[in-house]
Amino acid sequence: MTAIEQKFLYEQVAEDMRHAITIGTYSSEERLPSLRKITSLYGVSLATAIQAYQWLEDSGFVEARPKSGYYVLPRGCGKACEPEVSNPRMKASEVTVGELALGILEEARRPDLINLGAAVPGEDLLPLKNMSRIYAGVARREEALLGHYEAQQGNELLRKQISRQLRSSGVRVHPDEVIITNGCMEALILSLRAICKVGDTVAIESPSYYGMLQAAELLRLNVLELPTHPRDGVDLNALQQALDKKMINVCLFMPSFNNPLGSSMPHKNRKQLVEMLAAENVPLIEDDIYGDLSYDTPRLPAAKSFDCHGNVLLCSSFSKTLAPGYRIGYVVPGKYFDAVLKRKFLGNVASAGIPQVALAEFLRKGSYERVVRKAALHYKQRTDRLRQLVLQYFPEGTRVTQPQGGFVLWIEMPEHISGVALHDRALAAGISITPGVIFSPGGDYQHHIRMSASAVDGDAIDRAVKTLGELSNKF
């Protein structure tokens, strides 16, 4: 057993009591067994019983009432309604993601389904008219762009705009340090390809975006899942332990609004993360695709902004903010620039020119900030609303994250509910959700689902979540 897996006695007692509360053995407002009763029930000392109840209190499950004992707090308040820090096995493993993940994006394309599954942005919040007008203008004016390959590294005008845009995330780079890609997914794959060889180990947050798992599977890399806090992101102590044991070749993290957790690393953790990895010469691939959709302004600086050694490869795209259909992303690969560029050429020579020039023109006109601010405010309202609906309709014991950016929610249901079965039943009822198992290589998160709040608007969503609640109550 690793130090991370070991649990203190009081934690075991507290976990068991938490479980009893979660499955409804003790209901809201009910008085819990006295401390003395706990000592005889579990065969532990009074000090251990006190520690267990303190843990439950700190975690927001119970409250101590003077001279009366400990009571279960109502659901939906306190930390009790948020998932806990994840607790993966901390063992590098091969990845097999399976067919399930491939179906999720397809479901988002079906007009007969209410999409709470795929993490696609709300179409009403994208500047599609403006972008298509600019696109049409560029295509008409600059037909020569069709007559040659765009630069391998990407269009110069666009790289310039991106380097300006990156200043808002604290990243100061020359346009020549940016490589344009076909979306963030290509940026991630090129980065992994540039750094890793078959059999290397990639450390990821647990849970993590299934696209990353698929990438690891494709490149025959092992994955090491790290404990991750639903608010603060990856556990740096656990990471340090893995680094000390030389278990990791590269880290692939989403410090800003992890998909699916929505967690956001505090400022000081980002700096510490970059320093820890530089000290061990382990590169960080930073996926910042949701970073600009922060509900707070200014957004937190990207981890890349603390990088003094070229050890961080910053990957992002405009798929969540402007237009997923443009398929434009980028990577700022630091000291891995040449290795990434070579692989870009081998993959597809260069990205298409017209979308790049059109995007450069859009960014030059200066409305990116306004578009993204407006969208982030809407996403905040939509995630809040979806969260409330889930807590209202889902079975007692359901926990939901409270992200500070992006538009996905991670939902932990009572253990007897299968996320995959709920997905299948929801699909039959005309609703798409994402089962939690696809966010882990080891088949964890069986009773979890991810929901996207991006399209949550109008009464249809109330009805859809009510239906999901009814379905989940039938398990």
CB of residue 166 vs ligand PLP: minimum separation in angstroms? 16
- Residues between 106 and 125 with contacts to ligand PLP, criterion CB under 6 A: 119
Cα maximum dimension of the chain: 82
Give yes or no for residue 254 binding ligand PLP (CB under 6 A): yes
Rounded Cα distance, 455 and 123, in Å: 8
Other beta carbons within 10 angstroms of residue 15's beta carbon come to 15
Residue indicated by tokens 């306190």? 78
Query: Given the complex with ligand PLP, which of 80 and 376 has the nearer CB atom?
Result: 376
Give yes or no for residue 329 binding ligand PLP (CB under 6 A): yes
Give yes or no for residue 103 binding ligand PLP (CB under 6 A): no
Site string for ligand PLP, 41-70 (x = CB under 6 A): ------------------------------
CB of residue 273 vs ligand PLP: minimum separation in angstroms? 17
Query: Which part of the chain contacts ligand PLP (CB under 6 A), choosing from 140-148, 180-188, 394-402, 459-467?
Result: 180-188
Give yes or no for residue 289 binding ligand PLP (CB under 6 A): yes
Query: Given the complex with ligand PLP, which of 210 and 336 has the nearer CB atom?
Result: 210
Query: Given the complex with ligand PLP, which of 183 and 414 has the nearer CB atom?
Result: 183
Q: Are 265 and 234 in contact (CB under 8 A)?
A: yes
Query: Which part of the chain contacts ligand PLP (CB under 6 A), choosing from 177-185, 240-248, 332-340, 423-431?
Result: 177-185
Rounded Cα distance, 361 and 75, in Å: 49
Give the nearest residue (CB) to ligand PLP.
Answer: 183
CB of residue 186 vs ligand PLP: minimum separation in angstroms? 7
Number of residues that bind ligand PLP (CB under 6 A): 14
Give yes or no for residue 274 binding ligand PLP (CB under 6 A): no
- Residues between 333 and 372 with contacts to ligand PLP, criterion CB under 6 A: none
Rounded Cα distance, 254 and 317, in Å: 13
Q: Which of 156, 171, 193, 95 is nearest to 443 (CA)?
A: 95
Give yes or no for residue 101 binding ligand PLP (CB under 6 A): no
- Residues between 181 and 210 with contacts to ligand PLP, criterion CB under 6 A: 183-185, 209
Residue indicated by tokens 């295509």? 139
The three-state secondary structure class of 24 is: coil
Query: Given the complex with ligand PLP, which of 259 and 418 has the nearer CB atom?
Result: 259
Give yes or no for residue 215 binding ligand PLP (CB under 6 A): no
Rounded Cα distance, 53 and 445, in Å: 26
Give yes or no for residue 287 binding ligand PLP (CB under 6 A): yes
CB of residue 390 vs ligand PLP: minimum separation in angstroms? 20
Give yes or no for residue 211 binding ligand PLP (CB under 6 A): yes
CB of residue 11 vs ligand PLP: minimum separation in angstroms? 31
Q: Which of 257, 256, 207 is nearest to 407 (CA)?
A: 257
Distances (CA, A) of 455 to 118, 233, 383, 424: 10, 25, 10, 20
Rounded Cα distance, 249 and 259, in Å: 22
Q: Which of 292, 341, 329 is nearest to 176 (CA)?
A: 341
What is 38-93 written as a DSSP string? HHHHHT--HHHHHHHHHHHHHTTSEEEETTTEEEEPPTTSSGGGS----------B
Rounded Cα distance, 358 and 362, in Å: 6
Rounded Cα distance, 314 and 178, in Å: 9
CB of residue 260 vs ligand PLP: minimum separation in angstroms? 9
Give yes or no for residue 403 binding ligand PLP (CB under 6 A): no
- Residues near ligand PLP, by CB under 6 A: 119, 183-185, 209, 211, 254, 259, 287, 289, 317, 319, 324, 329
